[in-house]
Amino acid sequence: MKYDSQSIEKKWQDYWYSRDFFQAEDFGEKPKYYALVEFPYPSGTGMHVGHFRAYTSLEVVSRKRRMEGYNVLFPIGFDAFGLPTENYAMQKGVHPRKVTDENIETFTEQIKRTGFSFDFSRVVDTTDPDYYKWTQWIFLKMFEHDLAYRDKTKVNFCPDCRVVLSNEESQGGECDRCGSTVEKKEKDVWFLRITKYAERLLEGLDDLEPLPRIKTEQENWIGKSEGAEILFPVEGTEERLKVFTTRSDTLFGATFMVVAPEHPFIDKLAERISNMDEIRAYRKKAEQKSEMERTDETREKEGIKIEGVHALHPFTKEKLPIFVADYVMMDYGTGAIMAVPGHDERDHAFAKKYGLAIKEVIAGGDVDKEAYTDVEEGILVNSDFLDGLSVKEAIRKMNARLEEEELGGAAVSYKMKDWAFNRQRYWGEPIPIVHCEQCGMQGVKEEDLPVRLPDLERFEPNREGESPLANIESFVRTTCPTCGGEARRETDTMPQWAGSSWYFLRYVDPKNDTELANYHKLKYWLGVDWYNGGMEHVTRHVIYSRFWHQFLYDIGVVPTKEPFKKRTAQGLILGSDGDKMSKSKGNVVDPAEIIETHGADTLRLYILFIGDYEQSTPWNDNGLKGCRRFLEKVWRLREKVGADKDEKAVETLLHKTIAGVDEDIEETKFNTAIAKLMTFANEAAKAEGITKDTFRTFLKLLNPFAPHIAEELNERLGHREPLVKSSWPDVDESLLEEERVTIVFSVNGKVRDKMEVAKDTDKAELESMALANERVKKFTEGKKIVKVVVVPGRLVNVVAK
């Protein structure tokens, strides 16, 4: 009978899904295992092969864990708020709710047709009021703990459309919709005080088991740098200009100061500044510059001297000119720097351009020519009480001295900024805040959650750059939860990151309507044992969820400090032309189509066999066919079943395969695991016959990868117990050892001959065998044998001159 993947797959999917085989059991007796994959954004185009690559890995792990006797939680859900749905709704006039529901249905169907063993009884949808009620609840708690606050920022604003644009919508300073030049508009927006958690987010990385690069990426994002803050008095005023520096040792080399254009110090001293007009013009120019322009490192650094004010060196009392320059950023450090041209390259270039003094305070280079930045060798000079010290010692001494004299002291700065947490859009969680003229900003009462999104006909933002919600009087008008007076609702919604920052907690207890999840259930299931997702999410998404989790831990809602124990990331699947898949290039592979033509098992297998799991790799239709051929070969393999006893070679190989497949799965080396299954199938096909037990063991190994065909063959073999309920095979260590091994004979490191010998042949014996070997003799002829290296079980190397 032919291998009919379509009917087999349908049959087993019905069987599994109708019997709840994949439902996780709360407080089950078995050891728990929580495998988590990033939930998808249900777009209208259906699932992408990237989704499949992300899910098949932990799908294999989950199926293996169940066979190993674990109580596995392997959930799925939908991160369904977001711009694409809203834009689609705007264009077509269909409500985002309807679009979302349809897309979720399509995704669910595609997932089921692949045979994934998700627990479908725990599906979450971030746009469901029963879900976003808790997203809002967490926000309220953060608001109560002063972690959510409002502040002004500059947003991208299109003067023609009169809407606020995201960075993606305003690339190159032009509005995505109408092409007008985007303006920067000052606006009150919401921030989450993630910087308060910077140190803990850094520390917690030690408990995560990530790939080294994931860890360094998170460290870079947090961007901790240790240095000092120093106060510079401003001559003739009470003002003191605060700078952050990592090189407080070079303080005596500071010859001027630079402040960011936005620095409030400029406004404070406006009256004393004689060239304020010039500075205002420069400011305006800097403001119009896009981030890209301002951060273009090839651009010559330029600035403007502030006339009329000087800073004073805290120790020497020397007058230091102050410049404004846009290469200093307001949101890093203190927005002001002391410039040490002798020992900083940027400051050096700046000093040369404006003819400023360059002072050497660390001996070792020629500071007239270039900045000397070495911190290992240099010795302090021209630095009063620091002379003769190394850089390290000088920093320590200077920081202590600064503290003593109340001029500053050691300080830490983080690159990470607070998290801008709102959008002027409809399709997101409403921020549960009420503005009352009497009481100010008030959180909505817990019992009034969720603040539901009102039904809308039109989704365009209003003309002042506010969210479409601002147009709905019935939504906006409310009463103050504190004084009961008239009040207005906040109309901004949360960004897409919100719902995805805690979804893995909800899977644990998805239907709970009195708390986000029951504490005892969380205690049973957390932490997530293995979390897999895209490389592009390993910084932001993982940091954001860790931040929320740490906060929830602090207020006693979750029992673990960190949410995830292990994080991996799959590489991209490129189009067969080696380019990123995109509609415009026409190189997109549609997984739904592949399932129809080749079958789900073939797709599952190929997507893991395609290459190194963490590396990006191009799609290849022929490779896909190869996987289908392998399954057909396995299908025919059952004709070999019936031997009473296995050939010794088959038996050994089987156990090697068990050990190898097991290890490879744990190390995310799925491609080699599949290669090992192929090797076994090839050998078994060559044997006279194989036993029924051996074939069943092989099917168990295949089962996590290609469960439909494995179940079908298992059943046809006459086994009553389905593989989904069977146990993972054990390795018989005694069978792994082969009795005979191949020894390589080499001369001067070059292989000259090979020989099969008994495994336990000793060193002396191997050496004499090698020296007696004809080929070895030929290559050592006329030479003197200097040395013989014997590695038992592997090789003999004869060194001859």
Partner RNA sequence: GCGGGUGUGGCGGAACUGGCAGACGCGCUAGAUUUAGGAUCUAGUUCUUCGGAGUGCAGGUUCAAAUCCUGUCACCCGCACCA
Window 301-320: residues binding RNA (CB under 7 A): 301
Nearest CA to 646 among 697, 687, 686, 683?
687
Nearest CA to 494 among 558, 524, 436, 451?
451
Window 7-26: residues binding RNA (CB under 7 A): none
Q: Of 84 and 223, which CB lies nearer to RNA in the complex structure? A: 223
C-alpha gyration radius of the chain: 34
Q: Of 75 and 253, which CB lies nearer to RNA in the complex structure? A: 253
Interface residue with RNA among 281, 555, 736, 789 (CB under 7 A) is 789
Give the DSSP H/E element, type plus range, for residue 498.
Answer: helix 497-500
CB 525 within 8 A of CB 562: no
Window 215-234: residues binding RNA (CB under 7 A): 216-217, 220-221, 223, 225, 227
Q: How far is the CB of 683 from RNA (least distance, A)?
A: 9
Q: Of 109 and 667, which CB lies nearer to RNA in the complex structure? A: 667
Q: Considering the rule CB under 7 A, would residue 202 count as an interface residue with RNA? A: no
Give the DSSP H/E element, type plus range, for residue 735.
Answer: helix 733-736
Report the alpha-carbon distance of residue 747 to residue 783 in Å, rounded: 11
Q: Considering the rule CB under 7 A, would residue 522 count as an interface residue with RNA? A: no
Q: Considering the rule CB under 7 A, would residue 581 count as an interface residue with RNA? A: no
* Degrees, nearest 5: CA angle 108-113-119: 55
CB 418 within 8 A of CB 192: yes
CB 442 within 8 A of CB 481: yes
Q: Of 327 and 426, which CB lies nearer to RNA in the complex structure? A: 327
Q: Considering the rule CB under 7 A, would residue 575 count as an interface residue with RNA? A: no
Q: Of 506 and 669, which CB lies nearer to RNA in the complex structure? A: 669
Window 73-92: residues binding RNA (CB under 7 A): none
Interface residue with RNA among 617, 638, 687, 771 (CB under 7 A) is 617
Interface residue with RNA among 612, 715, 765, 767 (CB under 7 A) is 612
Report the alpha-carbon distance of residue 561 to residue 207 in Å, rounded: 9
Q: Considering the rule CB under 7 A, would residue 447 count as an interface residue with RNA? A: no
Q: Considering the rule CB under 7 A, would residue 661 count as an interface residue with RNA? A: no
Query: Token match 């050939």: residue?
Result: 647
Q: Considering the rule CB under 7 A, would residue 587 count as an interface residue with RNA? A: no
Q: How far is the CB of 682 from RNA (least distance, A)?
A: 5
Q: Total number of residues binding RNA (CB under 7 A)?
A: 81
Q: Of 541 and 549, which CB lies nearer to RNA in the complex structure? A: 541
Interface residue with RNA among 406, 622, 644, 718 (CB under 7 A) is 622
Q: Is the peptide bond before 430 cis (omega within 30 degrees of 0)?
A: no
The residue range among 10-18, 92-100, 551-559, 789-797 that interacts with RNA, by the rule CB under 7 A, is 789-797
Q: Considering the rule CB under 7 A, would residue 246 count as an interface residue with RNA? A: yes
Q: Of 687 and 717, which CB lies nearer to RNA in the complex structure? A: 687
Interface residue with RNA among 34, 52, 244, 635 (CB under 7 A) is 244
Q: How far is the CB of 306 from RNA (least distance, A)?
A: 17
Window 591-610: residues binding RNA (CB under 7 A): 609-610
The residue range among 164-172, 238-246, 437-445, 717-725 that interacts with RNA, by the rule CB under 7 A, is 238-246
From the centroid of its chain, how far is CA 786?
Answer: 55
The residue range among 107-115, 134-142, 244-252, 449-457 that interacts with RNA, by the rule CB under 7 A, is 244-252
Q: Of 481 and 533, which CB lies nearer to RNA in the complex structure? A: 533
* Degrees, nearest 5: CA angle 175-179-185: 40
Q: Quote the DSSP letter at residue 32.
A: E
Q: Of 224 and 488, which CB lies nearer to RNA in the complex structure? A: 224
Binding mask 676-705 for RNA (x = CB under 7 A): --xx--x--xx-------------------
Q: Of 588 and 799, which CB lies nearer to RNA in the complex structure? A: 799
Q: Of 309 and 681, which CB lies nearer to RNA in the complex structure? A: 681
Q: Considering the rule CB under 7 A, would residue 212 count as an interface residue with RNA? A: yes
Report the alpha-carbon distance of residue 743 to residue 758 in Å, rounded: 10
The residue range among 25-33, 47-55, 214-222, 595-603 that interacts with RNA, by the rule CB under 7 A, is 214-222
Nearest CA to 707 among 723, 696, 721?
723
CB 322 within 8 A of CB 306: yes
Q: Which residues pair with 256 in a beta bridge?
A: 339
Q: Of 227 and 428, which CB lies nearer to RNA in the complex structure? A: 227
Binding mask 741-780 for RNA (x = CB under 7 A): -x-x-x-xxxx--x--------------------------
3-state SS class at 191: strand
Q: How far is the CB of 446 from RNA (least distance, A)?
A: 36
Q: Considering the rule CB under 7 A, would residue 582 count as an interface residue with RNA? A: no
Interface residue with RNA among 13, 100, 110, 245 (CB under 7 A) is 245
Distances (CA, A) of 321 to 81, 282, 440: 51, 18, 43
CB 312 within 8 A of CB 233: yes
Q: Of 296 and 515, which CB lies nearer to RNA in the complex structure? A: 296
User: DSSP of 736-787, one letter per residue?
Assistant: HS-SEEEEEEEETTEEEEEEEEETT--HHHHHHHHHH-HHHHHHHTTS-EEE
Interface residue with RNA among 633, 638, 719, 777 (CB under 7 A) is 633
Query: Token match 């494995």: residue?
Result: 710
Window 523-562: residues binding RNA (CB under 7 A): 535-536, 539
The residue range among 108-116, 155-163, 504-512, 664-672 that interacts with RNA, by the rule CB under 7 A, is 664-672
Give the DSSP H/E element, type plus range, for residue 310.
Answer: strand 303-312
Collect contacts of 747-755 with beta carbons under 8 A, ≥24 apart.
747/776, 747/779, 747/780, 747/797, 747/798, 747/799, 747/800, 748/779, 748/797, 748/798, 748/799, 748/800, 749/797, 750/779, 752/776, 752/778, 752/779
Query: Token match 């190898």: residue?
Result: 660
Q: How far is the CB of 633 from RNA (least distance, A)?
A: 5
The residue range among 23-31, 237-245, 452-460, 582-590 that interacts with RNA, by the rule CB under 7 A, is 237-245
Report the alpha-carbon distance of residue 599 to residue 604 in Å, rounded: 9
Q: How far is the CB of 321 from RNA (least distance, A)?
A: 16
Interface residue with RNA among 494, 594, 627, 650 (CB under 7 A) is 627
**Dihedral of alpha carbons 163, 166, 170, 172, sign:** positive
Interface residue with RNA among 64, 348, 669, 696 (CB under 7 A) is 669
Report the alpha-carbon distance of residue 686 to residue 698 in Å, rounded: 15
Report the alpha-carbon distance of residue 21 to residue 121 in Å, rounded: 11
| Residue 166 token pair | 């995201």
Q: Considering the rule CB under 7 A, would residue 783 count as an interface residue with RNA? A: no
Window 320-359: residues binding RNA (CB under 7 A): 326-329, 332-335, 337-338, 344, 346
In the β-sheet with 303-312, what is the strand arrangement from edge to edge?
A: 303-312, 319-325, 256-259, 336-339
Window 114-153: residues binding RNA (CB under 7 A): none
Q: How far is the CB of 326 from RNA (least distance, A)?
A: 6
Window 248-307: residues binding RNA (CB under 7 A): 260, 294-297, 299, 301
Q: Considering the rule CB under 7 A, would residue 166 count as an interface residue with RNA? A: no
| Residue 325 token pair | 């320059």
Q: Of 512 and 671, which CB lies nearer to RNA in the complex structure? A: 671
Report the alpha-carbon distance of residue 433 to residue 431 in Å, rounded: 6
Q: How far is the CB of 64 from RNA (least distance, A)?
A: 19
Residue 18 identity (one-letter amino acid): S
Q: Of 508 and 631, which CB lies nearer to RNA in the complex structure? A: 631
